[in-house]
């Protein structure tokens, strides 16, 4: 793993970050020779399709295909 002093990292931060992104190689930032932080590349993002995005987040209960009541009663019902 490549190491860089914290003072040099501060001066060249954007270039170091770009180098890590491009090469996918982590860089350890040190202060007085002791590790302070590791700069690592981000994990590769999986490109998911929007289809099925909500899968497993809700559940259907009961019969969603059958009638909700007798067809003869439809005209007689009044809603308030």
What is the pTM assigned to this prediction?
0.54
pLDDT at site 65: 78
* E strands, the chain, in order: 2-5, 27-31, 34-39
> Residue 5 pairs with which residues in a beta bridge?
30
As given in the structure block, the two tokens for residue 54 are 């909500």
13-41 pLDDT, tens digit each: 999 999 999 999 999 999 999 999 999 99
User: Which domains can be identified in the chain, with CATH numbers?
Assistant: 1-41 (3.40.1620)
pLDDT band at 64 (very low <50, low <70, confident <90, very high): confident
Instruction: Give percent helix, percent strand, percent coil of the chain, each to the nearest 5.
Output: 25, 20, 55
Query: Region 63-68: what's the mean pLDDT?
Result: 73
**Mean pLDDT for all residues in the chain:** 83
């Amino acid at each position: 793993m490549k190491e860089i002093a914290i003072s040099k990292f501060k001066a060249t931060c954007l270039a170091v970050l770009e180098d890590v992104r491009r090469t996918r190689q982590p860089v350890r930032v040190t202060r007085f020779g002791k590790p302070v932080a590791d700069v690592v590349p981000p994990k590769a993002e999986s490109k998911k399709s929007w289809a099925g995005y909500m899968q497993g987040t809700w559940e259907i209960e009961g019969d969603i295909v059958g009638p909700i009541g007798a067809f003869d009663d439809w005209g007689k019902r009044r809603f308030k």
